[in-house]
Structure 1
Amino acid sequence: MAKVYDKVIISCAVTGSVHTPTMSEYLPLTPDQITEQSIEAAEAGAAILHLHARDPRTGSPTADPKVFDEFVPRIKAATDAVINITTGGSTRMTLEERLAYPLQAKPEMCSLNMGSMNFSIHPAARKITDWKYDWEKPYIEGMEDLIFRNTFRDIKKILKILGEDCGTRFEFECYDVGHLYNLAHFVDEGLIKGPLFIQSIYGILGGLGPDPENLVTMRTTADRLFGRENYRFSILGAGRHQMSLLTMGAVMGGNVRVGLEDSLYLGKGEMAKSCAEQVRKIRRILEELSLEIATPDEARAMLGLKGKDAVAF
């Protein structure tokens, strides 16, 4: 019997903490801009909205719950999308800072990086001579000497106080094959139960490169570790590799993630003017491949989420 593919979940990472205001005039920075772009992305077909916060004065990443509160409830009121709050924040934030808003909000879903790693885009600073804000250049160049920390104990703590205690499920961000084995460790320990939502990530310096072969490696490794029926696979291609890797992953039965956190472009040499533009593009590609797009409620059912009304915002 032919394989019947599930519908494809489109996630949209709206702003992130990596890109800076100088890199794109379209990067949403203020609560109003993040709200507007999130709503547009949901209307375009994104079932999950992955959210970071920015200081509205300078555009720098912030973990301040007061800033999150200026846009997260508004997005919830205006859309049915699953709201996914970062626990990654940025490499300069402590674990306590990164968890401050998730523990307050108790969302349906949070991202969870499955290991400590070098994470950098410092070569990008060489291409920029005029910066809008004084913080940007040292922020980007400083990534060369910083590590994103998520130790086994950190991950265990997040799984307990956010997952077990708050009923939040996770987008398990896996930047390398070893992260899949870290995830398997916690499954074996009984600290994580399926269905798993594995976000496999390609093209970040410090993680797996964007070679198509790496996508196959991650998919087959996940199959061996978890069994294909026990997890949902998703693909994040950074920068110019976004659309090509997402298309390949979707053909392989995966879900997809777009957004200005992951790439500032819509195509070669063309800046994306909004997250919604990227959502509409990948949706068109998927539908032309005869793949169906999951609604937010279908995504909730596929991922075993607790529901929109069970959050604290």
Structure 2
Amino acid sequence: MARQKTVITCAITGAIHTPTMSDALPYSYDDIAAQAVAAAEAGASILHLHARDNETGAPSVDVKDFQPFLPRIKQATDAVVNISTGGSLSLSIQDRITPAKTFSPEMCSMNMGSMNFSFHPLAKRYSDDDWKFDWEKDYVANSDGNIFRNTFRDIKEAAETLAPHDIKFEHECYDVGHLYNLKFCMDIGLFKAPVFIQFIFGILGGIGPEVDNLVFMKRTADRLFGDDYRWSVLGAGGAQMNLATTASQMGGNVRVGLEDSLFISRGKLAESNAQQVAKIRRIVEDLGCEVATPDEAREILALKGGDRVNF
């Protein structure tokens, strides 16, 4: 059989990193739109999008903070838009899925279990005078008290609320137990095959970013889902390119972007999301794989099509 092409997802801004950590991190509406389009032009067929306050860069799930950039991205590129439903560690699931419910994208994320989700060690890298905005220090330092809630009831509520929109979920699995959660949800009819699983490594509170863990997660998914799933890998921080490269050679898809890592190489900040996309595309192609176009990604993942979104 011909080898399936590699789908590159780019996560543009996320809700972990703050403006102080990198001048390249987009948070204004203009910068999110511009970097998303540039990432698509560099080879990303899926754009994973969070919103932020246009003035302070604080993470937001308010539809008014998505509205200014979603139509601009759709007008400028054919890339698949994937809207996060995990943009807040404190709000309810209904608040978090409101952007997806409002804009009906082709894809949105779906976190497959509750977990400790922390990035508080990052706060120690900056002095009190370094922070650009008042909200940043406490937001980062106090994340050690976070429980990222995604109960079975939450997952069911999100799945049933969004079901009429025919959205394909990026099932984010931060540990092996999340795979079993997904299997249970499929067994009770919440999600239909083929599902798209994002294996996530290196978040404090989740599974570590070792290749052995990638192999373990992949073997577990093979046992649980057989041929009924497609998969991708997200390596946080310094694990980003190494795990993406390994995944591509194992037949998987890849995710990069400033949400997941601010760096392009050890100790060197990335200049943009597009720079990370260009790097992983070069690696994937140099190793003999082909990168999927947006329409090929739609076919691989069985998406509804860009003509059926609400933006």
Scaled to the shorter chain, the TM-score interval is over 0.9
Give the corresponding residue for 1:220: 219
Q: Which residue identity is paired with 2:71?
A: P
Kindly state the Cα deviation for residue 83 of structure 1 after the two structures are TM-superposed: 0.2
SS at match of 2:91: coil
Q: 1:38 aligns with which of 36, 39, 62?
A: 36
Corresponding residue of 1:142: 142
- The answer for the alignment partner of 1:88 in structure 2 is 86
- Matched AA of 2:28: T
- Measured in 1, the distance between the counterparts of 2:2 and 2:223 equals 21
Give the letter for the 2:161 counterpart: I
1:200 and 2:214 matched: no
In structure 1, give the amino acid aligned to 2:279: K
| Residue of structure 2 equivalent to 1:55 | 53
1:165 alignment partner, SS class: helix
For residues 151 and 56 of structure 1, the distance between their equivalents in structure 2, rounded to whole angstroms, comes to 31
TM-superposed CA distance for 1:101, in Å, is 1.2
Q: Percent identity?
A: 59
Summarize deviations over 1:109-154 as a string: whole Å, max 9, x none: 0000001111111011111112111111100111101111111011
Match of 1:161 in 2: 161
Report how many aligned residue pairs link the two structures: 309
**CA apart distance, 1:233:** 1.2
Indicate the RMSD between aligned Cα atoms, in angstroms: 0.8
Equivalent position of 1:111 in the other structure: 109
Instruction: Provide Cα deviations, 1:146-193, integer angstroms capped at 9, x if missing partner.
Output: 11111101101111111x211111000000000000000011112111
Look up the SS of the partner of 1:99 in the other structure: helix
1:37-79 CA deviation, whole Å, 9 max, x = no partner? 0000000000000000000111000111011000011101110
One-letter code aligned to 2:235: G
Where does structure 1 lack aligned partners over 5 or more consecutive residues? none
Tell which deviates more after alignment, 187-196 or 73-82: 187-196
In structure 2, the partner of 1:73 is: 71
1:194 alignment partner AA? A
| 3-state SS, counterpart of residue 104 of structure 1 | helix
Q: Within 2, Cα distance between the matches of 1:186 and 1:93?
A: 23
List gaps (5 residues or longer) in structure 2: none
CA distance in 2 between partners of 1:310 and 1:82 (Å): 11
SS, match of residue 262 in structure 1: coil
2:266 paired with 1:253: no
Contact map agreement 2:93 2:158 (CA 8 A) in 1: no
- Following superposition, the deviation at residue 96 of structure 1 comes to 2.3
Equivalent residue runs for 1:164-183 within 5 Å: 164-183=163-182
Q: Which residue of 2 aligns with 1:133?
A: 133
Q: Aligned equivalents of 2:243 and 2:189: distance in 1?
A: 32
2:237 to 229, 236, 239: 239
The residue that corresponds to 1:306 in the other structure is 304
The code of the aligned residue for 1:16 comes to: G
Q: Distance in 1 between matches of 2:244 and 2:232?
A: 8
Deviations 1:221-280 (A, max 9, x none): 0000000x2111100000011000111111111000000000000001111010000000
Work out the CA distance in 2 between the residues paired with 1:177 and 1:296: 29
**In structure 2, distance between residues paired with 1:172 and 1:106:** 17
* 1:186 equivalent in alignment to 2:185: yes
Q: Distance in 1 between matches of 2:69 and 2:224?
A: 38
Equivalent of 1:287 in 285, 288, 291 = 285
Q: After the TM superposition, list the runs of 4 or more consecutive aligned residues in structure 1 that deviate by more than 6 angstroms.
A: none
